[in-house]
Structure 1
Amino acid sequence: MSQKGKGWLLAIAALAGIWLIRHGADTQLVPPQPTSAQAFAAGPVPQPGSPLAEPLKPSPPVRIRIPSIRVDAPMMRLGLDADGSLGVPPAGNDNIVGWYGDGTTPGAKGSAIVAGHVDDARGPSVFYALGTLQRGNEVEVVRRDGRTAVFSLDAIEVYESDDFPDERVYGASSYASLRLITCGGGFSKSTGYRGNVVAYAHLTAVR
């Protein structure tokens, strides 16, 4: 991997290491967590299901829909903050999802990184139910070019913060893939969420 690619991984990893772990609501209401039945089978590299759709040309996403958990939210571009960590969606908006704007756009070849809050001080946020997803569930991303990229879920896993697999989550992909990330792994009042829930999906159709 090039130095630029490594730098991108380190910068985007801050999303899990800084924001997603520490910005959950100060509450004991723990959101649903994925079961081991929805995880990838043992192996070094996550494998997508089939069929694979032909990747699209890059175009920014404008909306995301996950019918099985009733998500229907606008999307905003996220950049990096001065400290190299990823910017975050506004804390006061519980129904907005961010995507890493300097990375892959959803539907294009590569790993598109998408993140949403699990909750805030007022209660559940847009990705609260992410942990209930199951393999085969669909994720729809409406793009600025008018096309809708339809992804099929391959797996959903939960990681403790000290065992977060950066390369597995943020690494390059030879097909159009999507990574949905939020807080998870248990909650502590002193430190916030102890890990992250990550859903993996691949492009199966275009509308």
Structure 2
Amino acid sequence: MSNTPRADHPAGKRRTADQSAIPRVAILLLAAGQAARMGPTGGHKLLAEFDGIPLVRRMAAVALGSNAAAVILVTGHRRTEIETAVTGLNLEMVENPHYLTGMASSLVAGVSYLEDRQIDGALVMLADMPGLLSSHLNQLIATFQLSGQDCIVRAACQGRPGNPVILPTSLNQQILQLKGDIGARQIIENASLPVFQVEIGEAALLDLDTPEAVKGAGGIIKY
């Protein structure tokens, strides 16, 4: 699996004249973290199986089923096993060697990878949100595309902001300055950009941080 998109990959194609006005969104699927709340013997939540499929593979398939121009999987902790779990999927891989410093390093790795691409926004998707569907991602992408592209779009549940979130490229330099175990929340709050919330229900808030949460969502922790 190469970091360079193939010529026939959507992210490797040049825009045609009729496509040039359509904002392009790439998905950054974050799968680099240690999942410390799983405990020392809690297993890796992204390798937990749901209906016989590792969670990270399931979420990668959801991302690939969307209208995104590309799907980039950011790996770190147990990288080899994560990459093995998604073998055969049309993903681009980015390794985050600084994953021990927290989530910000994964955002930096992903956004850095996209900097020279014809991409207008990055949809930041956590790989431990089993309620997400491709249709949810398409709702977010469509809202971004219809809202003039220089905006922030985030999923919500009954008005409560959640994930995923689409960040426009105008925020890239701010994202690249992030450090520590934080996401883009502060950037979103401080940005002088319109923020559009898209209601997708409980899927926007459901992530799996503990062994109990994995089991409660129907997962089987393998190792």
Tell me if TM exceeds 0.5: no
Larger radius of gyration: 2
Question: Shorter-normalised TM-score: what interval?
Answer: under 0.3
Query: Which structure shows the higher strand fraction?
Result: 1
Query: Which structure shows the higher helix fraction?
Result: 2
Scaled by the length of structure 2, the TM-score of the pair is: 0.25
